[in-house]
Structure 1
C-alpha cells in the first residue's frame, strides 16, 4: 500500500502531518509516489513494554532520478559568454536571503555589512532527499564496522539533574550519580537503573516515583589511600536535584526508520546512545565519543614524555538497515605517568636539570604543563591537584607565608624541615596550583603526572610517525579487533543499564551491498608514448621502463608520458640550506630540469641567476638577496628550488616569506630524499612544479570529449572549501578558511585558492561574501566566492551556469547552520556580480573523519594491501534512511585499513542522480596534481585542506610562545581579535602554489 499517512501532498512521510514529498523544495516537481513505499519494515506497533522491536526495514523504493528542477524563482541565467553587468542597486542582493531561506525552509538572514552567524540551535532543515540508488559498477559484498541494535518498547523518561555544589568534571559527576543510585535505588528510585550522561541528563526506562526531588549523598574522599595514617577528612556532601524534563518517544524513531517520518528524533537517538555508553564510561577513560584503557590493547612510548593508549570509537546512528552502532579501534596520545621533572627532561631534551631555564624554555614548560593534574608523592596519602602555571623564579628563590599569616619561609627550607626532603633541582621553577591570588608552590621532582590524561597538543613529526606505526592494522586484523570490542563489552548481558532498557547489540558486522566503479580514462599529451591511460587499482605511472635495463641506463631506456599541458620556466634558480649536502645543488637541479623537460615542460636548463648555498640561520637575508638580484636583472623568478635545512622547522618560514613578502613560487625539497637522486622522486617533484607554474599534468578524457554529465554541458565551476583550526589545547585568535575553485572548463583540473582568517573555532566560512564600507563608493561587495567567480570568468571568458560546492570539515550537528549561511553567501556573491545571476548549486559535505570502515568479503578481490578495491561505493544499508549520501573508497590502501569518505548532499538544484554524482566524484579523485594515484578525498576539498594548512604558516611565526599558553578554555564573553593573514602576492595566487 502506497502513500501512507495520507492527507499530505506528495508522499505521506509524516503520517498525516507534514506529508512532504519530493516537491517540498521550490522549483522541484511534486512526486506522487511515496518514498519509502508501503513495505513498512519490521517496526511492529506500540505494543507492551515486554515486546521487542527490531529496527530493520527493507531498502525503500526510491523515486526515479529527477530532471534538473525548474527554477521558479530564479531569472534565466544570462549567456555564459557575456561579461558580468554589475547590478544597479543592492536590492537584488537583499532579496536573496529570503529566496534561499524559502528553499531551505529556514528564516531569512538580514543583509548587513557583517552578516551574523545563525545560531547553532537553528531549527533543523530538510536536506536533499535521495534521488534513487546507484546502479553503475560491479556489484560486490563488503562488511562494515556497523552492528545492528534492537530496542524494546521502553517507556523513556528524561530528567534534568542539578548537582550542588557544581562539579565540572564528568568523572566526579559519574561518581556522585553512582553513589546516589547505590544508596537510593531500592527506595526513592523505585528499583530503576538509570543511564546518566555525566552532565545534566538522567534517563530511565519508566517513570520514577516522583516528578521532582532533591536527594543528598556523601562521596568518600578519593585522595585518601589505604593504610594511610592521616586522619580522614569529612566526606564531601552533594545535593542532587532531579526533575522530569521530557518523555522521548520511541514511536517517532520507528516512524523515522520506516520512512514514515521526515525529521530524525535526535533526542531519542541521544538517549539510546547514552545507554550504550553507560558501562564503558564507568570503567574506561572517556575522550569525546571514544574510550581508552591500557586493557584495550597495546600501550607504547611516543617519546618526549608522551605515550599512546589503545581504545575504540563508538557512535549510534540511524541508517537504512535500522539503528546501527558504529565501532572502530583507535589510539590517542596521553601524558606518561612520570615525575614532572622527568617529563621536563624528556619533553625538552634537557640532560642537566640543575641549570635554570631560559625565558623561552620557561614559557614552553608552562605551556606544556598547564592544566595537567599531578599527584604529590611526598605525602603519606595520594593527594592530587591541577597545575595552573609555573613560577617565574626558580624554586630556590621562592618564599611564601605560612598559614599563621605571619611567618615567611622559603620553599626549599619548608620541604627540608617539614618533610625531610632535600630538593635536587632547586634551579627549576615550581609548579603552581591553587589560585593566582593565593598560589601553592610544588617542586617538580615531588609531583607525578596522574595516569590517563589526554595529551591534546600537537604531536611532532616523529611522534605522528610512531603513532601511525603503532596503530596501523591490516583490514583482517582491524576487523577482528572491532569484533572483539563488541564481544568484550557484551552490552546487553553484563551491562544492567542496557539490559533494563532492553537494548541488544548484535555481534556480527553488517553485510552490505556495494559496487566498484571503473576508473576514468586519463588524457596525456599526444606527443608522448601513451596518450590515454587507464589506471589499474587506483594508480598508474608516467614512466615505462624495461625491467631488463640496469638502473644506470635508466634515462636512456625509458618512454615518458608527457603532461597534457606543460608549463614554461625561463627564470629560476636554486638555494641550498643543507649543510650536510651543501654541494649537490648543480647535479640535483640538472637531473630535475631534465625530468621536467622530458615530461613536456619547457624548462630552461641554466638558472637565470647563480645557484647558491647558505646557512639555515640566514634564510630571510638569502631569500631577499635572491629576490633583489633577479628583479635587478628584470628576470623575476618563476620558480625557486629550495633544498631545505637538515633540521626541520624552516619550511613554513620559507613559504611565508616567498608567498606573502616576495611573490615567488617555490618548490622545497628535503635534503635526504633529494640526495638519493631517485627517478620516482624527480617525477613527483616535476609534477608539482608543472602545476605550480600553470601547467596541467593530466585531465579526464571524458572532459575533453564533453561526456561528463552536469559538468561539461554548460560552463561549470567546482569549489572546494575547508576550515582548519589549531590542535586542541593550542589557543589561537584565528582559524583559517580556504576556498579553491576550478579555473578551467571543461577540464576542471586547475584550482585557484584563497585563504582567510576568521574567528577562532568557528566552522562557518565567514568571508564567502562580505561588504566593506568605502567613504566614496559606499558598500563594496567582495568575498572569496565573488573573487573566484571573477577569476573563472577571466580565465575562461565564461560565466558558470552551474556550481558544485564540495565542503569539507563539517560535523553532522552543523549541517543546518553551515548550509543556511554559506548558501546565502553564495547567492549574494553571484547577485553582486550581475542582477538576477543565479547559477544552480549543488552543495556536498565531505566527511573524512567518519569512523566507518569497509572490509572485503572476498580475499581474491582486494588491492595489494588487502583492502577493498578503489572505486568501492556504498549508498545502501549503513547510509541515511531518506537523504542523499554515500560512502566512497576512491583510493588504494598503502598500509593499514582504508577509510572511505562520506559524501552528504545537503542541497541540489542540478538534478544529480546517485550514479552521476558518484561517478563524477570518483573520477575527480584521479586528477590530484601531486601524484599518479587516486586520492581518498575529492581533490577540490583536498586542495582546500592543503591551502588552509599552508596559511597556518603565515601566522605561526607571529604566534610566539610569549603569547597565550593554552590548556584552558577562554571565557565565553571574552572577545578575541582575529589575527588577519598577510596577503598572498597576486602572481602567486594565479597558480596552485599550495600543493
Structure 2
C-alpha cells in the first residue's frame, strides 16, 4: 500500500513535440534529453513525471509558464537512420492545485464533506483510493517480430510475389520505382519484380520497395489472434496465483519504488508488500431442475455442478430439424450416428427432439455453402407443406463444420440463416450442441420468490455492451447490444436487440428514438422500449416495476457521460410507453479491464482456495481497495481453471431501488449461476455476457458483403439514417427475423 507523505502542490504541464511521434518510448527519450540538456531552464530540483504523450506533472512550479525548446536526439539505427534528428518541444503550464493533507486523509477515511471531489481554480482533480493503492500486475501481449518486410511477407502472408505498383508519376513523368530509387538515392534494387508497400494516403500514395523496409521491434499486434496463437499465448502467460504473487513482489523489489526519484518528488512512499484486505465468501444459490429428474435441486460445489440425474426445468421442444455437413473428413455414417446420439442425450435431459430430421442428412462441398443452406431450407419447407403443417418452418439446422477454417464459414452461416431465412442454427465441430429455447435451470429462491428486490414485483434485468471494430479499421461501425430478461421471476431467459452506431462511439445511441412519420406525428422506438414491450407480452401485460441495468465497456472517465445519456434514454423510453411510468432504476457498470488481483492470504490453506489455488467463488471485497464513499465492489464469482482468477469490478452509478451492498452483491453472484452455456458459475453477470455475445454475432452480419438497406434490428429508423462525425452514413444492420429473436440465438 502507498503512503502519502507531505505534498502540497501539483502542477499539470502540457507538452507538444514536433514532429509528432507515435512511440511513447521515443517521446520519453526526447523529454529525458530535454531535462538533461536544458536543466538550468527547468529548475534542476524538479523531476517531472511524463506520460509519454501530452501530459507532464511536477510537484511545484516551473520558472516559466510557456516556452519552446529544441532537442537533438540520436536516430534509431534499427530503423536504418544514422546521425541526429531535431525536435521542437513546447511546454505550457496548464493548471495547478494545492493538495491538503488533512482533506486527503478525510477523503480516504470516507469523511470528507464533498464526498468525492477536490475543486480548484485551475484544475479539478478526482482522487480515488484505488489510484493511491499502487496496483502492480503482470500483463502479456503480442508483438510483431523484428525482421525485414520481405521475410514477413513470405513467412506469414503467404504472398505470391509478382509485379505490382511498379510505376508512378514523378513531376508529371511516368517512372518506375527502380528508376526513381536509382536516380534519387543511387540505390539499385535487387528484386525489381516484387510489389511495393503503399505508405501514404489514397490521394497521395507513397511507394516503398519491400527490400528497403524493416519491421522494427516493440510494435504491438492488436488484431485478433487465431486459435493456435491464443492457445500458445495462454500457455506462456499462465501462472498460478502463488507464482503471480511472487512475480509481482519480485518486480516491486527489483524496481525499488520506495527510492524512485519521481515518487520522492511527489512525496509518495511505496512499500513492497501486498495490501491485506477483508473479504467474505457469499453462499452459492440452490438451483432448481425439473421434478421428473432424480435430482430436483442442486447445490453447486465451488462454482460448478453437472447434469447427471437432472432434467431441464423447461427444456423446450424441436419437432422439425435438419442436418448439413461441410466436413469432408467426416463420413456421412458418422454424422448420422452423431445426430442419433444428440437426439438421445437431449431427450434424456428434458429437451424433446423428434427422432428423425425433416429431410435426409446431406454432405456438401464447402464452396457450395450458401446454395446448400438455401436448398435444405427450401426442401424442409416443401416437406412441411406436404405434411399439411401450416405456419411452421424448420426450427433447428445442425451444421457440421471442418476443424480448419470453421470461423471463415461461421459468420456467413449466421448472417444467412438469422437475417434472411429465419432459422436457428447450431454449428458444431465435435460433440457439442446447445439448447434452443427453454431454460436449463433457474434459481430455486426465484421460484419461491425469496430474492429481495427481485421477486417482490415484476423486475427486468438488462445487460448492455458496445463492441468496437479491431484496431486499424477506421470506417466500420461500432455495435451496441442490449439484452433483457423476459421470464420474471426466474430471470434466466433473455431477448436481445442490436444496433450499429458511429465508429468507436461508446454511448448507446438507439436506447430510445423518436422520429416523425408521414403525418408529422412522433413515433417512439428504440431498444429499451422494444424490450419492455416484449416483457409485457411475456408476463401477462405486466410492465416491469423495477429495472436493474448492468452496463459493460465503460471506463471511469466516461461514467458521467454514459450515465446522463443512457439514464435519460431509459427514462424517456419508459415515459413513452405510458404517461407517468417511471420504474426505479439501478445502473451498474461492470468492469473486467483492470489490474486488481486477489490472492488467498495463506496459499496453503485449502479452505481458502479452489482446485486451481485461486480464491473461492463468491469472494467479495468492498473495502480498502474500493472507493471510500461510493457504492462499488469486487466479486470473484467463478472457480478458476488455470492461471490467476480475475475478479470483476461492479460500480453502482445510480440506485433508485435502494439496494443494500449485501443484497446487490448476492443477487449479482447468484445470477452468475444461470449462464446457459455451461454448468459453472461465470466470471461476469450473465446479461452482460449475453450482450457481448449478441454484439459479436451482429458484427458477423456486417462483415459478410453488402447489406440490405432496412435499418437496425432494434426496429429503429435512426439506425439507417445516422451519420458519423465525418458525415458518412453509418452502415445499418440487417433485420434479424422475428422468429429467431424469440430465442437466445446468440448464446
Same fold (TM over 0.5): yes
Cα distance in 1, alignment partners of residues 693 and 345 from structure 2: 25
Are the aligned partners of 1:492 and 1:502 in contact in 2 as well (CA < 8 Å)? no
Q: CA RMSD in A?
A: 2.9
The match for 2:4 is: 150
Are the aligned partners of 1:154 and 1:502 in contact in 2 as well (CA < 8 Å)? no
SS class of match (1:589): helix
Count the aligned residue pairs: 714
Equivalent of 2:177 in 411, 434, 449: 411
The match for 2:691 is: 944
Structure 1 position 975, deviation (Å): 2.6
The match for 2:357 is: 607
Cα distance in 2, alignment partners of residues 594 and 600 from structure 1: 10
Are the aligned partners of 1:736 and 1:952 in contact in 2 as well (CA < 8 Å)? yes
Are the aligned partners of 1:253 and 1:265 in contact in 2 as well (CA < 8 Å)? no
The match for 1:554 is: none
Instruction: Give the TM-score taking structure 2 as reference length.
Output: 0.90
Q: Does residue 1:790 correspond to 2:540, yes or no?
A: no
Structure 1 position 809, deviation (Å): 1.2
Change (3 A) 1:591 1:247: same
Cα distance in 1, alignment partners of residues 302 and 480 from structure 2: 33
The match for 2:468 is: 725
Are the aligned partners of 1:412 and 1:423 in contact in 2 as well (CA < 8 Å)? no
Are the aligned partners of 2:396 and 2:426 in contact in 1 as well (CA < 8 Å)? yes
Equivalent of 1:566 in 315, 320, 333: 315
Equivalent of 1:530 in 270, 292, 295: 295
Query: CA offsets, 1:262-293, max 9 Å, x none?
Result: 3545899x9999xxxxxxxxxxxxxxxxxxxx
Cα distance in 1, alignment partners of residues 657 and 10 from structure 2: 42
SS class of match (1:818): helix
Cα distance in 1, alignment partners of residues 685 and 724 from structure 2: 36
Change (3 A) 1:871 1:443: same
The match for 1:214 is: 67
Structure 1 position 755, deviation (Å): 0.8
Cα distance in 1, alignment partners of residues 78 and 477 from structure 2: 45
SS class of match (1:329): coil
Cα distance in 2, alignment partners of residues 227 and 628 from structure 1: 62
Structure 1 position 943, deviation (Å): 0.7
Change (3 A) 1:436 1:189: farther
Structure 1 position 926, deviation (Å): 0.5
Cα distance in 1, alignment partners of residues 201 and 567 from structure 2: 47
The match for 1:256 is: 107
Q: Return 5+ residue gaps in structure 1 as ranges.
A: 1-146, 274-315, 357-392, 544-559, 675-680, 961-970
Structure 1 position 248, deviation (Å): 4.3
The match for 2:388 is: none
Structure 1 position 837, deviation (Å): 1.0
Cα distance in 2, alignment partners of residues 696 and 239 from structure 1: 62
Change (3 A) 1:697 1:224: closer
Cα distance in 2, alignment partners of residues 848 and 406 from structure 1: 55
Change (3 A) 1:930 1:240: closer
Query: CA offsets, 1:166-216, max 9 Å, x none?
Result: 666544443332222212324552532222333444322222334x34243
Cα distance in 2, alignment partners of residues 325 and 267 from structure 1: 23
Cα distance in 2, alignment partners of residues 899 and 484 from structure 1: 20
Q: Does residue 1:986 correspond to 2:738, yes or no?
A: yes
Query: CA offsets, 1:572-631, max 9 Å, x none?
Result: 111111110141221110000000100112211011222211111111111111221222
Equivalent of 1:705 in 448, 456, 462: 448
Cα distance in 2, alignment partners of residues 219 and 441 from structure 1: 29
Q: Does residue 1:696 correspond to 2:439, yes or no?
A: yes
The match for 1:918 is: 665
SS class of match (1:334): coil
Change (3 A) 1:414 1:844: closer
The match for 1:662 is: 421
Are the aligned partners of 2:11 and 2:93 in contact in 1 as well (CA < 8 Å)? no
Cα distance in 1, alignment partners of residues 649 and 204 from structure 2: 51
The correspondence of residues 439-450 of structure 1 with structure 2, limited to 5 A, is 440-450=206-216
Structure 1 position 764, deviation (Å): 1.0
The match for 2:477 is: 734
Are the aligned partners of 2:33 and 2:73 in contact in 1 as well (CA < 8 Å)? no
Q: Return 5+ residue gaps in structure 2 as ranges.
A: 386-391, 708-722
Q: Does residue 1:638 correspond to 2:390, yes or no?
A: no
The correspondence of residues 774-853 of structure 1 with structure 2, limited to 5 A, is 774-776=517-519, 778-797=521-540, 798-853=542-597
Change (3 A) 1:407 1:608: closer
The match for 1:26 is: none
Structure 1 position 661, deviation (Å): 0.4
Change (3 A) 1:149 1:398: farther
Cα distance in 1, alignment partners of residues 675 and 414 from structure 2: 21
The match for 2:641 is: 894
Structure 1 position 253, deviation (Å): 3.7
The match for 2:245 is: 479
SS class of match (2:495): strand
Q: Does residue 1:349 correspond to 2:99, yes or no?
A: no
SS class of match (1:510): coil
Change (3 A) 1:706 1:408: closer
Cα distance in 2, alignment partners of residues 703 and 599 from structure 1: 22
Cα distance in 2, alignment partners of residues 530 and 201 from structure 1: 61
The match for 2:280 is: 515
